[in-house]
Amino acid sequence: MQIAKALRNKPVALLWSAMVFSAIGDELYTIALIFVATSALGFLAGYLVSIQMACTLIASLYAGVFADRRHPRGVMIISDLVRALAVVLPALWLAFLSAPLPLWLLALMMIVVASAKPFFDPALQTILPELARDKDTLSAVNGLFDAMRRVARIFGPGLGALLIPILPIQHFFSLDALTFLVSAATLVWLRRNVADAHEPRTSAPAGFWPRLRQGVFGGFLAAGRKPVIAAHIFAFGVQNGAWYLGLILATALRFRQNDPADFSHFGLIVAAYGVGNVASTLVTAELKIGNPFLFMSVGRLICGLGFCLLALSNSLPGMMAAAAFAATGAPLAQIPFVTLVQTSFPPNEIASVFRMRMTCDWLGMFLALALSPMLLAAVGPEATTAIAGFTYLAAGGSGFLKRLGARVRA
């Protein structure tokens, strides 16, 4: 098995274990943040979702100005240390001042953590090809790291439920800080396995304005040289908006409107989606991907069909089965795309292209969140989920049409 081969690579196994540990810490952070925010703000806590999205979106635009001239591993270490310091502040405040946690400190922590994501995630994608060593193993490595957050979404909330009765909520932040420190220590250990630790920094344009242009628009300029890849990046932005709107908002509202007492069933649907994600990731990582564009199109079609089935389902088992089916399409689109970028662009452009992808993803979700009140009020949650499904189908179908058109011209 390719995944077993990838895990026999000690640096890959060590980094993956640290990233899973850190991702579980992120889930504990989310639980604690929601708990503290809802206690302090009540219904207004929902605005935190928009603020976090806006912070990550803005940071994804300017991160390249600072990160592209530095070694990816060093960028990841600094990002981990900054986030560790930020998330431990609530525990230190409550431990030494014995005063209620102020909202400004909660907001500061949230802004720092959200803004660090566009520095860390693209840098991680830059070092994975070096650790994988060959293209065949790279797909399995990408599958492993794609699965880490999906695994964390299954185990993190369960761990949180076990810890809430025995651990003060502020120490959920402390545990997240610990996971960031473990991640940073692992990256320090990987110094000998990542070439950027002993190679000179990537050259950058001379002058402030050229560097600013490269940092902000570098990913768009690089992807612009490969229009098909750029088109798929924008498609990911559209589908992420559809995912958030159709699975998260609309499905949650279906239970809230129809039977508020059964709102806990929403968690079961999200868990079923997570199980489908992980199962598909393990299978996709073993496949030899000859045509990544075909895989991405098929993945979107599966997601779209699953969302349409979710909209039509009225029973909990049917909705869980539809969500799990839809989830199997996500790795089929994601893993080939990651491998494609890592093998199509030079190392100094990989992070920039992934930041462009993050910008499109978060912009898509932000716009979906902004448009959701009008759409949900106009057509209702079931039809909204169906519209999200048709959006996926359109994105996947367009990929097939472009491929067919290319064959006809040939």
Q: List, as one string, the DSSP characters of 69-97.
A: TS-HHHHHHHHHHHHHHHHHHHHHHHHHT
Rounded to whole angstroms, the Cα distance separating 163 from 149 reads 20
The closest alpha carbon to 200, from 326, 88, 69, 331, belongs to: 69
Rounded to whole angstroms, the Cα distance separating 65 from 379 reads 43
Q: What Cα–Cα distance (Å) separates residue 404 from each residue in 161, 396, 400, 407, 410?
A: 50, 13, 6, 5, 10
Phi/psi region, residue 380 (left: phi>0; alpha: psi -120 to 50; beta: rest), is left
Q: What was the pLDDT predicted at 385?
A: 94
> Contact, 353 vs 343, CB < 8 A?
no
> Contact, 56 vs 118, CB < 8 A?
yes
> Contact, 352 vs 68, CB < 8 A?
yes
Tell me the residue type at 2: Q
Dihedral sign of CA atoms 200, 203, 209, 213 in order = negative
Rounded to whole angstroms, the Cα distance separating 137 from 302 reads 26
Q: The tokens of 86 are what?
A: 């930020």
> Which 3 state secondary structure label does DSSP give 404?
helix
Phi/psi region, residue 265 (left: phi>0; alpha: psi -120 to 50; beta: rest), is alpha
The closest alpha carbon to 349, from 115, 72, 74, 137, belongs to: 72
Q: What was the pLDDT predicted at 259?
A: 60
> Contact, 68 vs 204, CB < 8 A?
yes
Burial tier of 330 (Cβ tally within 10 Å: 0-12, 13-18, 19+): buried
Helices (H), 248-346: 250-258, 264-284, 292-312, 316-327, 329-344
* Residue 117 CB contacts under 8 Å (≥ 6 apart), including other chains: 56, 59, 358
The closest alpha carbon to 83, from 173, 159, 10, 8, belongs to: 173
Q: What was the pLDDT predicted at 369?
A: 76
Q: What is the pLDDT along the chain (410 residues), one digit of tens a residue?
A: 677 777 888 888 899 999 999 999 988 888 788 777 767 765 455 566 677 778 888 888 777 767 767 788 899 999 999 999 999 998 888 878 777 788 888 889 989 999 998 889 888 888 888 887 777 678 888 888 887 877 887 777 778 778 878 888 888 899 999 999 999 999 999 887 776 543 444 455 555 556 556 656 777 888 888 988 898 999 999 999 999 888 877 887 787 666 655 556 776 787 788 889 889 988 888 888 888 888 999 999 999 999 999 999 988 899 999 999 999 999 999 989 998 998 899 887 888 888 888 888 888 888 887 788 888 888 888 999 999 999 999 988 886 655 544 443 43
Q: The tokens of 30 are what?
A: 């989310």
What are the residue boundaries of the structural domains of the chain, listed by start?
1-202, 212-410
Domain 1-202, classified CATH 3.90.380.10, yes or no: no
**Domains 1-202 and 212-410 are alike in CATH topology:** yes
What number of other Cβ atoms are within 10 A of residue 254's Cβ? 24
Q: What was the pLDDT predicted at 329?
A: 94
Q: What was the pLDDT predicted at 337?
A: 92
Tell me the residue type at 112: V
CATH number of 212-410: 1.20.1250.20
* Counts for the chain of helices (H) and strands (E), in that order: 16, 0
**pTM score above 0.85:** no
Rounded to whole angstroms, the Cα distance separating 181 from 185 reads 6
Q: The tokens of 118 are what?
A: 């566009």
State the DSSP H helix or E strand holding residue 352, giving kind and residue range, or none if neither: helix 347-379
> Contact, 307 vs 269, CB < 8 A?
no
Q: What was the pLDDT predicted at 199?
A: 43
* Residue 166 CB contacts under 8 Å (≥ 6 apart), including other chains: none
Of the chain, the end-to-end C-alpha distance in Å amounts to 37
Q: Which segments of 29-184 are extended strands (E)?
A: none
| Structure-token match 């030899």, residue found | 288
